Amino acid sequence: MTRVAVVGGGALGVTAARDLAARGADTVLYERGELGSGASGRAAGIAYDAFAEDTDAAVAARAVERFRELGEEGAIEFVDHPYVWFARTGDDRRAEAVRESAERMRANGRDVETLDPDEFADRFPALAGVDVAAAALARDAGYLDPAAYVAAMGERAESAGADLRRRTPVRLAADGTAVETAAGTERFDAVLVAAGAHTKRLLAGVDVPIPMKPYRVQALVTDPVDGSERVPTCYDATEGRYARPREGGLLVGDGTDEREFDPDDYDESADLEFERASLAWLREISGDGAGPVTDDDLALRRSWVGLCTATPDRDPLLGEIRDGLYVATGWHGHGFMRAPALGERIAEQILGGDGVAPFDPNRFDGDETFEVVEGMTVDD
C-alpha cells in the first residue's frame, strides 16, 4: 500500500487526502492549526468555469461539477448564481480584453455571453450605476461557504480512512519524503506540500526552491441588505473589485497589495481605506438607490485579510518537483475554486496517473525574479 503524507489542511489538501484514501492509499494529513484556518477559510467562495485557457477551463468545469455533487448530497449548499465581469466606458483597453477573453471562453465550450451596454442594464438593474463599455456573462457559476466545503471534505477524508492530524506543525526531512513532528519522524512513499503561503519555506528546508510569492488581499462583508440576492457575482475590471451575495449582505474583495509578504509577519487587519473605498464602490454601482444598496442600509459587518500566492506566469505549481515530493501552490486567488479538481488530479498523479503538464513545477528553476500580479486582472 502506498503511504502518502499531505501537508496542509486547506481545500486542496483535504480534497487530495480524501481522494488518496478513497483510492486505497495510507494517507496522513498534517495541519498546523485547524482545517481551513489559512487561505481557504478566508476565500470568497466564488466558483465559475469562465476561463480563456483550455486547461483552466477544463479544471474549473470539473471543480464546479464536484461542488454541485456535494451540494446534491446535502453536504454543502452550492448556490447557482450568474457571474458577470465588465470594463467601464473610457477603459477601452480592458473593454477589448473582456470581449476577447469571452470569445476564447466560448471556443473552449464555456457558456459565456458578451453583453452590450443596453443588454447589461436590462439584465442587471442592481448594477444600475455602472456605465459599461463591455461586459460578459458566465452562466455556469455559483458560490458557497468555503469553510463548509473544507469541513465536508475533511469528514469524507476521515470516512475514507485518512488520518487527519490537526494542530500538528511539521518540517520536511531527508529527501523530502520524511515528515518531522514533535512526536518524531515518519517516512512516506510520497509527500504532498499544500501549505499555502508557507509552502515555499517548507520546501526550502530540504533545498527545493520554488518561484512563489505570498501577497496580501482584503475582503469585507456588509450587514444584511434587502435585495442583495439580486446582485450578480461581479468583477469590475476597471476598478479592480468584485462582489457577491453573502449572509444576506454583500461580500466585496480585492484590495490587493502586489508585493511579497512574510507569511508569519503581515498585517491581518483590513485597511481602513479599503473598507471605505469598497463601501463607496457598492453605493456607486447601485446607482443612487436604483439597486439594493443605499446610504441608509449599508454598513460594515466585518473585514479580513488573507494571503494569496503568485508565480511568474500566473499558473500554479502542481506536481512532482523531486522524486516522491509533490507541491501544490501558486493559485493567484483561484485556489479554492479549483481545489475539487486539482486535489483530484494531484491524488491521481501521486498514485501513478498523469499530472497537469502546463502546471508542472519543474518548468522553473526556482530562483526566477518576477513581479506579483493579482489573479483577477483582465489580460491586456
* Spatial separation of the C-alpha atoms in residues 139 and 61, rounded to whole Å: 12
Show the cell assigned to 89: 466606458
For residues 250-267, give the mean pLDDT.
93
Q: Which residue from 169, 200, 189, 210 is spatially nearest to 5, judged by alpha carbons?
A: 189
Using the predicted structure, report yes or no on whether residue 291 has a pLDDT greater than 70: no
Q: Which residue from 319, 311, 316, 315 is spatially nearest to 346, judged by alpha carbons?
A: 319
Which residues, 6+ apart, have CB-to-CB distance to 246 below 8 Å?
45, 143, 221
How many other C-beta atoms lie within 10 A of the C-beta of residue 71? 18
Q: Which residue from 241, 246, 292, 314 is spatially nearest to 85, judged by alpha carbons?
A: 241
What's the one-letter identity of residue 340? P
Distances (CA, A) of 58 to 53, 333, 341: 9, 18, 9
Going by pLDDT thresholds of 50, 70 and 90, the confidence category of residue 295 is low
Going by pLDDT thresholds of 50, 70 and 90, the confidence category of residue 292 is low
At 339-357, the pLDDT tens digits run 999 999 999 999 999 999 9
With a pLDDT cut of 70, the percent of the chain lying above it is 96
How many other C-beta atoms lie within 10 A of the C-beta of residue 9? 31
At 76-132, the pLDDT tens digits run 999 999 999 999 999 999 999 999 999 999 999 999 999 999 999 999 999 999 999
Using the predicted structure, report yes or no on whether residue 20 has a pLDDT greater than 60: yes
Q: Phi and psi dihedrals of 6, rounded to 5?
A: -115, 125
Going by pLDDT thresholds of 50, 70 and 90, the confidence category of residue 143 is very high
Using the predicted structure, report yes or no on whether residue 288 has a pLDDT greater than 70: no
At 44-82, the pLDDT tens digits run 999 999 999 999 999 999 999 999 999 999 999 999 999
Q: Determine the pLDDT at residue 294.
A: 63
Going by pLDDT thresholds of 50, 70 and 90, the confidence category of residue 378 is low
Mean residue pLDDT of the chain comes to: 95
Domains of the chain and any CATH numbers: 3-45+146-212+312-363 (3.50.50.60), 82-140+214-310 (3.30.9.10)
Using the predicted structure, report yes or no on whether residue 289 has a pLDDT greater than 60: no
Q: What is the DSSP string of 54-88?
A: HHHHHHHHHHHHHHHHHHHHTSS--EE--EEEEEE
Q: What is the DSSP string of 120-169?
A: HHHH-GGGTT--EEEEEEESSEEE--HHHHHHHHHHHHHHTT-EEE-S--
Going by pLDDT thresholds of 50, 70 and 90, the confidence category of residue 286 is confident
**Residue 33 C-beta-side C-alpha neighbours within 13 Å:** 12
Q: Which residue from 234, 191, 216, 213 is spatially nearest to 29, judged by alpha carbons?
A: 191
Using the predicted structure, report yes or no on whether residue 379 has a pLDDT greater than 60: no
Element (H, E) at 275: helix 272-286
Name which of 22-26, 98-102, 146-150, 223-227 the model is least confident about: 223-227
Going by pLDDT thresholds of 50, 70 and 90, the confidence category of residue 255 is confident
